[in-house]
Amino acid sequence: MQGKPNSPHPHKKRERVTRISMSLPTKLLSDFDNSMSKSGYTDRSKALQTAIYSFINNYEWNSENSKYGAGAIILLYDNHVYNQDKKSIQIQHAYREVISATTHLHLDGNNCLETIMVNGQIKKIKDLAKSLSQNRGIKNLKVHFLSLE
């Protein structure tokens, strides 16, 4: 089925959907609905799709079979630790083939937040995150990953 001529994607075919049924413990469903509502979702199907994509992305990140992905490495660090910035920049230059962009935010006199947008081989992204995490002064490091496969 083709999109309507005036739609934003006139040549994009609508993806077929399959209706499923599932059994869940009452409390789990109640907790899900509560979290869904607090997150701004009004459609349970859309919230479940988002949760399923997250589950798949988590599997892909941990899988040896996945090759490519994209995401962000988020760092919170103490900017007064000796050579923190210089060491981080040296590491980032060594992984420039997977780094698309970076942002740097001064939170206060001691703390900086840096986001490194990545795209490429998962192994290299994991190696980059590991190299950064071993740096003195890193208070927190998180990787948000999306599979491209």
Say how many domains are in the chain. 2
Integer Cα distance of 51 and 32 in angstroms? 10
Res 1 pLDDT > 80: no
Share of the chain above pLDDT 70, in %: 88
The domain that holds 137 is classified in CATH as 3.30.70.1150
Q: How confident is the model at residue 11 (pLDDT cuts 50, 70, 90)?
A: low
In terms of domains, do 72 and 90 share one? yes
Specify whether the CB–CB gap between 131 and 91 falls below 8 A: yes
Write out the residue range of the structural domain in which residue 93 sits: 68-147
Please give the pLDDT value at position 3. Answer: 46
Q: Can you tell me the mean pLDDT for 16-39?
A: 92
Render pLDDT for 97-143 as a digit per residue (tens, 0 to 9).
Answer: 999 999 999 999 889 999 999 999 989 999 999 999 988 889 999 99
pLDDT in tens, 33-65: 999 999 999 999 999 998 988 888 878 777 767
Q: Which of 39, 62, 85 is the last residue of a domain?
A: 62
pLDDT in the model for residue 149:
67
Q: Which of 73, 79, 74 is nearest to 112 (CA)?
A: 79
Residues 53 and 102 in one domain: no
Q: Do residues 85 and 106 share a domain?
A: yes
Does residue 77 sit within a domain? yes
Secondary structure (DSSP) of 17-41: ---------HHHHHHHHHHHHHTT-
Last residue of a domain, one of 12, 35, 62: 62
20-56 in b/e form (b: 16+ CB < 10 A) is: eeeeeeeeeeeebeeebeeeebeeeeebeeeeeeeee
Tens digit of each residue's pLDDT (9 = 90 or more) over 80-94: 886 677 888 899 999
